[in-house]
């Protein structure tokens, strides 16, 4: 059984610190004479790397300070075969739900949302290095950092206060909100709920990570394929 020693205040602390430090870094980059980071694409890639690594560092720091271990974050390979299969299935399920719910909500609201930032970056990427960096961010580092924070770190605390259903609901709402994309808030929140359910079902972060990576990977492949053919 997981021993969750960190508190709800630590979840809030990490969120606030991440937002403040990432925005502070953005302002700093704008004031420094760094030609390589002046373009929209280069700056967003750098800030995304910074945000993901910062999120990982803060989570691990809080866990260590509270004398917990990696297994308490769901970083375990127990039942990895089952967890992996559930993750792949969950990734395809999330993709279908996000696309269908997104299209339906856009039609109901009569809006034509702009492309997501990651899609913009993929279309702006010119070199193999830029494309490989984006794939690494979107399919590996980003999903791992987000799953560690939202599912491995935040969900267990919320579950302690609100139960399984409340924990899944609030952690998924938080997941949707923190993407800062009002057009896609609903589908992202539903995707977050499935990811939290996978973690609850398997007890390992591997399952939601694989699902998240599968979801992002297919979307990345689709965008890059569309660029290739058009």
Give how far the C-alpha of residue 40 lies from the chain's centroid of Cα atoms, to the nearest Å.
Answer: 21
Q: Are 54 and 144 in contact, with CB atoms under 8 Å apart?
A: no
Q: Are 20 and 176 in contact, with CB atoms under 8 Å apart?
A: no
Q: Are 171 and 154 in contact, with CB atoms under 8 Å apart?
A: yes
- Per DSSP, 204 falls in state S
Compute the distance between CA of residue 151 and CA of residue 145 in angstroms, rounded to an integer. Answer: 10
Per-residue pLDDT of the chain (230 residues; tens, 9 = 90+): 577 899 999 999 999 999 999 999 999 988 887 777 777 788 888 999 999 999 999 999 999 999 999 999 999 988 899 999 999 999 999 999 999 999 999 999 899 999 888 888 888 877 788 889 999 999 999 999 999 999 999 999 999 999 999 999 999 999 999 999 999 999 999 999 999 999 999 999 999 999 999 999 999 998 877 654 44
Burial label, 89 (beta-carbon count in 10 A; 0-12, 13-18, 19+): middle
Length of the chain: 230
Q: Are 169 and 193 in contact, with CB atoms under 8 Å apart?
A: yes
Residue among 62, 78, 102, 127 at smallest CA distance from 186 = 102
Kindly give, in sequence order, each residue whose CB lies less than 8 Å from that of residue 158, ignoring residues fewer than 6 positions away: 8, 11, 166, 167, 170, 171
Spell out the domain ranges in the chain.
71-229
Give the pair of three-digit tokens for residue 186: 């609903």
């Amino acid at each position: 059984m997981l021993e969750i020693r960190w508190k709800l205040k630590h979840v809030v602390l990490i969120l606030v610190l991440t937002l403040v430090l990432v925005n502070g870094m953005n302002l700093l980059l704008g004031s420094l004479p760094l030609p390589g980071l002046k373009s929209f694409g280069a700056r967003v890639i750098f800030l995304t790397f910074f945000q993901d690594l910062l999120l990982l560092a803060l989570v691990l720091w809080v866990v260590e300070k509270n004398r917990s271990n990696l297994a308490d974050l769901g970083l375990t390979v127990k039942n990895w075969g089952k967890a992996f299969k559930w993750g792949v299935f969950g990734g395809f399920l999330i993709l279908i739900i996000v696309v269908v719910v997104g299209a339906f909500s856009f039609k109901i609201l009569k809006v034509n949302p702009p492309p997501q930032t990651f899609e913009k970056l993929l279309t702006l990427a010119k070199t193999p290095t830029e494309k490989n960096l984006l794939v690494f961010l979107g399919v590996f580092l980003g999903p791992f950092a987000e799953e560690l924070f939202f599912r491995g770190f935040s969900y267990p605390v919320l579950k302690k206060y609100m139960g399984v259903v409340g924990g899944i609901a609030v952690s998924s709402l938080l997941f949707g909100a923190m993407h800062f994309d009002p057009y896609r808030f609903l589908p992202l929140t539903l995707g977050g709920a499935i990811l939290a359910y996978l973690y609850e079902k398997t007890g390992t972060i591997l399952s939601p990570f694989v699902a998240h990576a599968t979801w992002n990977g297919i979307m990345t492949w689709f965008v890059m394929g569309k660029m290739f053919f058009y």
